[in-house]
Amino acid sequence: MTEETKDKSFFGHPKGLQTLFMTEMWERMSYYGMRGILVLFMTAMLQEGGLGLTTVTATAIYGLYTSSVYFMGLPGGWIADRLIGGKKAIWYGGIVIMCGHIVLAIPNESSFFVGLILVALGTGLLKPNITAVVGQLYGSEDERRDAGYAIYYMGINIGSLIGYFVCGYLMESAGWHYAFGAAAVGMGLGLTQFYLTHRNLPEVSDKPSVHISASGRKKSWSIIGIFLIALAVVTALTLAGTISIDAVSLAEKTAIALSILFVVYFGFIYFFGKLDPTEKKGMWALLLICIASACFWSGFEQAGSSLNLFARDYTDRMISTFEIPTAWFQSVNSFFIIVLTPFFAAFWVKLGKRMVTPGYGLKTAFGLIIMGSGFIVMVFAAHIAAGGGKSAAFFLILTYFLHTVGELCLSPIALSAVSKLSPRRYMGQMMGLFIFTYSIGSIIAGLLAGGFDPDNVSEMPSLFQFIATFSIGVGAVVLLIGLFSRKWEQEVVERKEVLEEVRDEK
């Protein structure tokens, strides 16, 4: 038993979990706090201190940003594994994030886009590696691992709650850039406590987990340097007006490119990975789950775009003499996550005891359908707005409740499916490929939200109706196919259990 396994300093878990819990809590406070006001700032009129962008442009930029955050996690994880180790990746990633928020706090249009780029780069370096280091706190036989991740996940949602409330309040009471500045302070607090307690983390996080030669390291740093220089040059030329970039066109092309890249990478593993017939069945089941995931996030990520705009312009936010800040509505998801997670965990266990275990495809299909039903609620809210009134806050709260239930049916279940159904030698790559679906879904979400035109209220019901029909329709197809793929899933799991028994006997 390792020293980390013996350590029970933090609610029966290793003390390092406290370090990571607090770091992630403050990082998520900064990320979600800024995310909650991002589209609102871009679409606000110039005289209100905003950028005065059209909704279609602002939501396209929002989609590009959120998609980049997830996409950059792939090279971020690679850099930690081969060049600097998880601990340094968390530290330097946090510094870059804080610098990004500081730049966002500067009241200048050019600095705004530079800040977004910095936050995306820093998050890509910090987010995947802090999650990986949580797992390094526990030995391979330590049964506390799942509970440790549950505690860690709680930190994410507590941080998002703080971010929405603090930045949302400052946005409307003090101004946009005070809210962006608060996000920088949050990340600064996370970095401070990480610096003071980083010695609690396991030594394995100090160094890269994969050894590469000196020449390989030099080549890797050269490629990273060239990328950063090219990014800086393109950004500078764009801000100077030398290069013109159409955000909507770029978002559309990026969505196509990401989808093609996913198909090519998945196909490469399937056709050239030397998989046996059982492993290929598992890959088909995983493909179904990946499609459900991408479609789910394309609807779920409306929270920061179309639903956020609806809350600002067409929702009655008055309680007596107090007007609820727009961004506070997004905190409803985090609140429901914290409240409902224990119930869902108990629900799946109870089903298992009764020998009722729906397949992964069926569970993700239910998640997608439930999320889509939230937009049916928004159709009714949009009809009220189209009639010239303001909808009650209840509609948005019910929508976020359904989205949260859908998330709890899909997100943790899908992660578990990837860990169980992936061919063992491609586990890391398949997990990275699954996270890739978040990026695809996020950029599609930005493009879908572009159909939300605050100046054309009559079209809003049809936008929400389209998202509802699309989500529920895809969910229904996944549900039907999931009835067959459940047999494939069972075959893969049973085969892995046999192989593990053979390995244990040896």
In this prediction, residues 482-504 reach a mean pLDDT of 74
Question: Does position 22 have pLDDT exceeding 50, yes or no?
Answer: yes
Residue 158 lies in a domain: yes
Write the secondary structure of 437-475 as one string of H (helix), E (strand) and C (coil): HHHHHHHHHHHHHCCCCCCCHHHHHHHHHHHHHHHHHHH
Which stretches does DSSP call E strand in 244-380?
Answer: 318-319, 322-323
Q: Of 195, 211, 227, which closes a domain? A: 211
Residue 222 lies in a domain: no
- Say which range, 92-96, 180-184, 275-279, 324-328, has the weakest mean pLDDT: 275-279
C-alpha–C-alpha distance, residues 323 and 333, integer Å = 20
Same structural domain for residues 111 and 167?
yes
Same structural domain for residues 292 and 344?
yes
Same structural domain for residues 332 and 399?
yes
Same structural domain for residues 310 and 431?
yes
* Tokens (6 digits) for 239: 């801000």
- Say which range, 81-85, 130-134, 479-483, has the weakest mean pLDDT: 130-134
Same structural domain for residues 148 and 294?
no
Partners of 13 in the β-ladder: 10
Residue 183 lies in a domain: yes
Question: Does position 213 have pLDDT exceeding 50, yes or no?
Answer: yes
State the pLDDT confidence band at 355, using cuts at 50, 70 and 90. Answer: low
Question: Does position 338 have pLDDT exceeding 60, yes or no?
Answer: yes
Q: For residue 343, what pLDDT is reported?
A: 84
* Whether the Cβ atoms of residue 220 and residue 145 lie closer than 8 Å to each other: no
* Whether the Cβ atoms of residue 433 and residue 262 lie closer than 8 Å to each other: yes
Question: Does position 354 have pLDDT exceeding 90, yes or no?
Answer: no
Same structural domain for residues 374 and 270?
yes
Residue 1 lies in a domain: no
Gap between the terminal Cα atoms of the chain: 21
Q: Global pTM? A: 0.90
The number of C-alpha atoms within 13 Å of 205 and in the hemisphere containing its C-beta is 26
C-alpha–C-alpha distance, residues 260 and 254, integer Å = 10
In this prediction, residues 474-480 reach a mean pLDDT of 94
Segment 380-408, tens digit of pLDDT = 999 999 999 999 999 999 999 999 999 98
Same structural domain for residues 190 and 252?
no
Q: Which amino acid is residue 159, in one-letter code? A: G
Phi and psi angles of residue 136, each rounded to the nearest 5 degrees, phi first: -75, -10
Q: Of 189, 211, 233, which closes a domain? A: 211
C-alpha–C-alpha distance, residues 130 and 90, integer Å = 6
Q: For residue 2, what pLDDT is reported?
A: 47
Residue 240 lies in a domain: no
Phi/psi region, residue 406 (left: phi>0; alpha: psi -120 to 50; beta: rest), is alpha
Question: Does position 47 have pLDDT exceeding 90, yes or no?
Answer: no
Same structural domain for residues 190 and 281?
no
Same structural domain for residues 182 and 330?
no
Closest CA to 94 of 149, 28, 159, 34: 28
Range of the domain at 451: 246-506
Q: Of 166, 189, 211, which closes a domain? A: 211
Q: For residue 464, what pLDDT is reported?
A: 96
Question: Does position 306 have pLDDT exceeding 70, yes or no?
Answer: yes
State the pLDDT confidence band at 1, using cuts at 50, 70 and 90. Answer: very low
Residue 221 lies in a domain: no
If you search the block for the tokens 């060049």, which residue do you land on?
83
Q: For residue 46, what pLDDT is reported?
A: 85
Question: Does position 238 have pLDDT exceeding 80, yes or no?
Answer: yes
State the pLDDT confidence band at 146, using cuts at 50, 70 and 90. Answer: low
Long-range contacts of 346-354 (CB under 8 A, 24+ apart): none
Question: Does position 357 have pLDDT exceeding 80, yes or no?
Answer: no
Q: Specify the number of domains making up the chain.
A: 2
Closest CA to 332 of 396, 269, 408, 384: 396
Residue 492 lies in a domain: yes
Phi/psi region, residue 11 (left: phi>0; alpha: psi -120 to 50; beta: rest), is left
CATH label of the domain that carries residue 314: 1.20.1250.20
Same structural domain for residues 434 and 347?
yes
C-alpha–C-alpha distance, residues 227 and 245, integer Å = 19
Residue 227 lies in a domain: no
Q: For residue 501, what pLDDT is reported?
A: 61
- Say which range, 219-223, 371-375, 413-417, has the weakest mean pLDDT: 413-417
- Say which range, 116-120, 193-197, 326-330, 428-432, has the weakest mean pLDDT: 428-432
Quote the mean pLDDT of the chain.
Answer: 89
Same structural domain for residues 281 and 203?
no
* Whether the Cβ atoms of residue 363 and residue 277 lie closer than 8 Å to each other: no
C-alpha–C-alpha distance, residues 240 and 236, integer Å = 6
Question: Does position 4 have pLDDT exceeding 50, yes or no?
Answer: no
Same structural domain for residues 417 and 373?
yes
